[in-house]
Amino acid sequence: MPLNDNKLILQIQRGNKRCADELVERYYSAVLRYCSWHCYHADRAEDLTQETFLRVFRDIYIYEQKGSFKAYLYTIAHHLCIDENRKHITSELDKDLPIEDDRLQQVEDREQIKHLLKLLTPVQREVILLHCGEQLSFREIAQILDIPARTAQSRFRAAITILRKEKK
């Protein structure tokens, strides 16, 4: 039976390298997906994901198990993404690259989602991405964004209302 996050962290703090690998394996793809929503380039999302885990392991020995580890992890990724976006306020125009037909629909869907997300405030967009995209609870979202859980819920409802109106 796999160890829960708190037990994994205790083992990592005691020097167990296999548990560190397990923690990365458990969350790497989810953090990469999250960072990908905030970056225009896949290689930057990969870099931010790696930086997230570097910071986790840099501070693992002083980490106190208050709240969920998952929320702590996403908080680090969230702040790194914000810093990255501040560095690149003016984004490059997408280069015209040939796209295979089967990937064209995926690109179009992703562009439609990005268009809809741009209609939201930054906090509403973040709540939608964390709740729908990463399946985080409103409590975890509140911890990441440093807002009350009820505020996260109300911003989620407001965002859904905006998206439904746009879809009509």
What's the predicted TM-score (pTM) here? Answer: 0.68
Query: Is-contact 159 124, C-beta < 8 A?
Result: yes
Other C-beta atoms closer than 10 Å to the C-beta of 132 total: 12
Whole-number percent of the chain with pLDDT over 70: 84
Q: Mind listing the pLDDT tens digit for each residue in 137-167?
A: 999 999 999 999 999 999 999 999 998 888 7
Query: Is-contact 73 56, C-beta < 8 A?
Result: yes
Q: Mind listing the pLDDT tens digit for each residue in 57-99?
A: 999 989 888 888 999 999 999 999 888 876 754 343 343 444 4
Q: Dmax over Cα atoms in the chain, in whole Å?
A: 55
Confidence of residue 1 (pLDDT cuts 50, 70, 90): confident
Higher pLDDT, 111 or 127: 127
Give the distance, in angstroms, between the CA of residue 156 and the centroid of all CA atoms in the same chain. 16
Choices 3.40.50.720, 1.20.120.1200, 1.10.1740.10, 3.30.1180.20: CATH for 1-90: 1.10.1740.10
Classify domain 100-168 by CATH architecture.
Answer: Orthogonal Bundle (1.10)
Please list the residue range(s) of the chain that carry CATH number 1.10.10.10. Answer: 100-168
